[in-house]
Amino acid sequence: MKISVLAGGVGAARFLRGLVEVVDPRDVTAIVNVGDDVELLGLRISPDIDIVTYTLAGIVDESKGWGIGGDSFEALSRLRRYGADVWMALGDGDLATHIFRTHRLSTGASLSEVADEVRRRLGVASRILPATDDPLTTMVRLEDGHLVSFEEYYVRYAFRPRISAVTYRGCSSAAPARGVLEAMDSADAVVIAPSNPVASVMPILCVEEIARALRRRNRRIAISPIVGGRAVKGPAAQMMSDLGMEASPVGVARLYRGMADAIVIDEVDAGMAGRVNSEAGLEALVADTMMVDAGARRRLAQFVVEASESLR
């Protein structure tokens, strides 16, 4: 069974890790958000691509869900000693990825080519495709009017300030990266991972050709990242609430209206299943979505695979 997954962040990476244990990893394609890509100290950093790649390679820092496990931070320490404004925790092994990516991009390689080179060299069998090779940045307007990138809002500001708007700079001119539309069209099912809807999924779907490809197909299943009114990880619930959306599976389902046929919601939110259907037109499927360990990841992945097979 071929499955394409729209992915971004730790939740998506953990779901993908479970998925490749229940289907052939070679039949899985991750289409990854690039809206939080940033340039820091002249280096191109692609947080979501790296989280997915490190997780599938089995080298991610399990306690954080990002970065490389057991990484050292000597370079970061020295950079700060020199007075560099390094507001991201970049380990030495992680920096090697960013240096390699930046070098390859400078020689004319595309982001998708670099992502493929890195995942192959790390032994990842699944395809990892950026949603687009074109510049696309998620911008967050803070309540005081200050406009920052999502990564700054998330890391530098620790998502403390309230926000008033989110925009996707470069979206109107961005085209799908090579292979993205083919992966979506040839897949037996498309899954929207349990990622931040505003900051991880919408930057993918703001690329019109990707959104159009998703609208025209069937067997589309989403997984809510909101459980009991809170995000499992990160600022998804806070962002939705600040933007006037309901921070619940219902709010997530409304965002995915027309983009999904069904949405998996956690057992604690089972009482919202009727509203998901009546207010968003999606079939609500109830399961344990808390991927607390390897077994839970596999069970959720198996549930999604079986559910997608039963969709019309």
Residue 291 lies in a domain: yes
Residue 163 lies in a domain: no
Kindly report, residue by residue over 214-238, the tens digit of the pLDDT. Answer: 999 999 999 999 999 999 889 999 9
Confidence tier at 280 by pLDDT (50, 70, 90): very high
Q: Over the chain, what is the mean pLDDT?
A: 97
What is the mean predicted confidence (pLDDT) over 145-154?
A: 96
Residue 285 lies in a domain: yes
Q: What is the CATH number of the domain that holds 86?
A: 3.40.50.10680
Number of compact structural domains in the chain:
1
Residue 152 lies in a domain: no
Instruction: Please check the confidence at residue 128 and state whether its pLDDT lies above 90.
Output: yes
Instruction: Please check the confidence at residue 127 and state whether its pLDDT lies above 90.
Output: yes
What is the mean predicted confidence (pLDDT) over 98-112?
A: 98
Percent of the chain residues past pLDDT 70, beyond the cut:
100
Instruction: Please check the confidence at residue 312 and state whether its pLDDT lies above 80.
Output: no
Its domain, for residue 114, covers 3-136+172-310
Kindly report, residue by residue over 81-92, the tens digit of the pLDDT. Answer: 999 999 999 999
What is the mean predicted confidence (pLDDT) over 4-26?
A: 98
Residue 248 lies in a domain: yes
DSSP letter string, the chain? --EEEEE-HHHHHHHHHHHTTTS-GGGEEEEE--TT-EEETTEEE-HHHHHHHHHHHT-B-TTTSSSBTT---HHHHHHHHTT----S---HHHHHHHHHHHHHHHTT--HHHHHHHHHHHTT--SEEEESBSS--EEEEEETTS-EEEHHIIIIISTT-S-EEEEEEETGGG--BPTTHHHHHHH-SEEEE-S--IIIIIHHHHTSHHHHHHHHT-S-EEEE-SEETTEESSSSHHHHHHHTT--SSHHHHHHHTTTT-SEEEEEGGGGGGHHHHHHHH--EEEEE-----SHHHHHHHHHHHHHHHHH--
Residue 150 lies in a domain: no
Residue 159 lies in a domain: no
Residue 251 lies in a domain: yes
